[in-house]
C-alpha cells in the first residue's frame, strides 16, 4: 500500500487555510472527528493498522524542489508561510484512534494551524487501507479498464465543453489509481483546469486549485456567532489573499444565509462561489437572481459545482448555465474511485475549537448545509444555529 506521498499529497485548501490560520489565529485549537456517514463496518485490527501508518507520517516533509515550485506557482503563499511549511512535521500524538467491533473512532486535536493538515491524507489513508484489508482491492477493475473509463470521461468533458477539476483525494481508491488518473484526464486538454491535489499538480505541472473549506466558516461562527460568521470569514479571507483565491464556499450555514452576507462588495470582489450541497439547479437560479439583484451581470461571475457529480449531472448543469454564468465542476470520488468497488461515505470535520485567547474553553463548531444529511456537529448547537439564523420559521 502506498499511503500519503508527502506534505503536498493533500488538497490545496488545507494549505491556503493553514496560511490564513497562521496569520490570524495562531493560538486557536481545533478538534476534528471522523464521521462514518455510510455506517461501514471496519475489519478487525483496522484501527491499529491505521495508526501504524499514521506514525510513519511524522517522517514526511516539504522538499526543496516542492518549496521552490510552490513559490513560483502559487504567488499567494508568503515566504514566511513557506518557511513554516518546510519545517512542518505531522505529530501523531494529535491523532487518537479506537475501534470497537466494526466501529471506528478517530479524533484529531491540537493547535489549529498544525492539526488542520491531518484531514485529507488521513481520509485517503482510511480509504486505501480499507480496500486493502477487506480484500476489496482484488475486486477492482483491471488497470486497463480503469484507464479506458478515465479516457472516456476526459473525452466526454472535452466534447461537451465542460471545464472540470479533480477533487478526489479524500476518498480515492489508492494513491496509485489517483496518480495514473491524472495523465488520462489531461487528454481533455484545456477543459481540465487542474487538480486539488498539490502533490499531483507538482508532478504533472498542473494548476493546484482550491480556496477554503467549511471549517473556515465554522470556526468564525464559534468565535463571533452564527449571524456574522459568513461576513467575518469572507472579510478575513480577503485580508489574507487580496483578491486571489476568489471562490467563496456558500453552504456552511445554508445558502440563503450566505447570500444575506454576500453583499455588493463581496459579490464584486470575489470571482464567484462554490455549491457543495442541495439542489444545484435551484442554487443556480438563486445565485443568478442574487447577482442580478445586486446589479452584477451573472455572466461575469463563476459558479463551481462540487456535490456528488457524475457525467450526466455535470452535463445537465452545464446546459442550464449556458450563456448565463461561467461554470466549472469539482469532481471527486467519481474520478478517483470509479473502479468497481463501493467507495466509503465518510468525512472528517471540525466539531469543536478553542477560539479565544488565553482560554481553554471548547466551543461547538457546527455545519448546516443545504442537505440535512450533511449536517455535522452537536445536535443542540445545530438547533440553536437554525433558530438563530431563522431557518426554523
pLDDT, one tens digit per residue, over 236-275 is 999 999 999 999 999 999 999 999 999 999 999 999 999 9
Give the whole-angstrom CA distance, residue 117 versus residue 16: 11
First vs last Cα of the chain: how many Å apart? 51
Give the whole-angstrom CA distance, residue 59 versus residue 43: 27
pLDDT digits (tens, 9 = 90+) for 206-225: 999 999 999 999 999 999 99
Superfamily of domain 142-336: nicotinate phosphoribosyltransferase (3.20.140.10)
Q: Do the two domains 12-138+344-388 and 142-336 of this chain adopt the same fold?
A: yes
Give the whole-angstrom CA distance, residue 277 versus residue 297: 24
pLDDT at 101: 96
Domain boundaries, the chain: 12-138+344-388, 142-336
pLDDT at 392: 72
Give the whole-angstrom CA distance, residue 89 versus residue 71: 19
pLDDT at 358: 82
Low-confidence ranges of the chain (pLDDT < 70): 393
pLDDT at 393: 59
Give the whole-angstrom CA distance, residue 311 versus residue 75: 33
SS3 call for 227? helix
Give the whole-angstrom CA distance, residue 108 versus residue 347: 13
The pTM score is 0.96
The 3-state secondary structure of 12-79 reads HHHHHHHHHHHHHCCCCEEEEEEECCCCCCCCCCHHHHHHHHHHHHHHCCCCHHHHHHHHHHCCCCCH
- Domain 12-138+344-388: which CATH class? alpha beta
- Phi and psi (nearest 5°) for 77? -85, 125
SS3 call for 383? helix
C-alpha cell at 222: 464559534
pLDDT at 355: 96
C-alpha cell at 41: 463496518
C-alpha cell at 368: 448546516
Residue 370: enclosing H or E segment and its boundaries?
none
Amino acid at each position: 500500500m502506498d499511503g500519503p506521498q508527502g506534505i503536498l499529497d493533500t488538497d490545496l485548501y488545507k494549505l491556503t487555510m493553514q496560511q490564513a490560520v497562521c496569520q490570524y489565529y495562531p493560538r486557536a485549537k481545533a478538534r476534528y472527528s471522523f464521521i462514518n456517514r455510510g455506517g461501514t463496518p471496519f475489519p478487525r485490527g483496522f484501527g491499529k493498522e491505521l495508526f501504524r501508518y499514521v506514525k510513519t507520517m511524522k517522517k514526511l516533509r516539504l522538499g526543496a524542489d516542492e518549496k521552490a515550485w510552490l513559490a513560483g506557482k502559487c504567488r499567494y503563499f508568503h515566504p514566511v508561510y513557506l518557511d513554516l511549511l518546510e519545517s512542518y512535521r505531522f505529530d501523531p500524538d494529535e491523532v487518537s484512534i479506537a475501534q470497537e467491533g466494526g466501529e471506528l473512532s478517530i479524533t484529531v486535536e491540537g493547535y489549529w494551524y498544525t492539526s488542520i493538515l491531518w484531514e485529507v491524507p488521513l481520509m485517503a489513508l482510511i480509504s486505501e487501507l480499507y480496500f486493502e484489508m477487506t480484500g476489496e482491492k482484488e475486486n477492482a477493475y483491471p488497470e486497463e479498464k480503469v484507464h479506458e473509463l478515465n479516457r472516456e470521461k476526459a473525452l466526454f468533458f472535452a466534447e461537451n465543453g465542460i471545464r472540470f477539476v479533480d477533487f478526489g483525494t479524500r476518498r480515492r481508491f489508492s494513491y496509485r489509481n489517483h496518480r495514473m488518473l491524472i495523465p488520462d484526464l489531461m487528454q481533455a486538454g484545456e477543459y481540465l483546469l487542474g487538480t486539488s491535489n498539490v502533490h499531483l499538480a507538482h508532478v504533472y505541472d498542473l494548476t493546484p486549485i482550491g480556496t477554503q473549506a467549511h471549517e473556515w466558516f465554522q470556526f468564525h461562527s464559534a468565535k463571533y456567532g452564527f449571524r456574522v460568521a459568513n461576513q467575518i470569514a469572507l472579510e478575513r479571507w480577503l485580508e489574507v489573499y487580496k483578491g486571489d483565491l476568489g471562490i467563496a464556499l456558500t453552504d456552511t450555514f445554508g445558502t440563503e444565509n450566505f447570500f444575506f452576507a454576500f453583499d455588493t462588495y463581496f459579490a464584486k470582489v470575489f470571482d464567484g462561489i462554490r455549491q457543495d450541497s442541495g439542489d444545484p439547479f435551484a442554487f443556480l437560479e438563486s445565485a443568478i437572481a442574487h447577482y442580478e439583484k445586486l446589479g452584477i451581470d451573472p455572466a461575469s461571475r463563476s459558479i463551481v459545482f462540487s456535490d456528488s457529480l457524475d457525467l450526466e449531472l455535470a452535463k445537465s448543469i452545464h446546459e442550464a448555465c449556458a450563456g448565463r454564468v461561467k461554470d466549472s465542476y469539482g469532481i471527486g470520488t467519481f474520478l478517483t474511485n470509479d473502479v468497481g468497488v463501493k467507495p466509503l461515505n465518510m468525512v472528517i470535520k471540525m466539531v469543536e475549537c478553542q477560539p479565544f485567547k488565553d482560554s481553554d474553553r471548547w466551543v461547538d463548531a457546527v455545519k448546516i448545509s443545504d442537505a440535512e444529511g450533511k449536517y455535522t456537529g452537536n445536535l443542540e448547537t445545530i438547533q440553536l444555529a437554525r433558530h438563530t439564523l431563522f431557518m426554523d420559521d
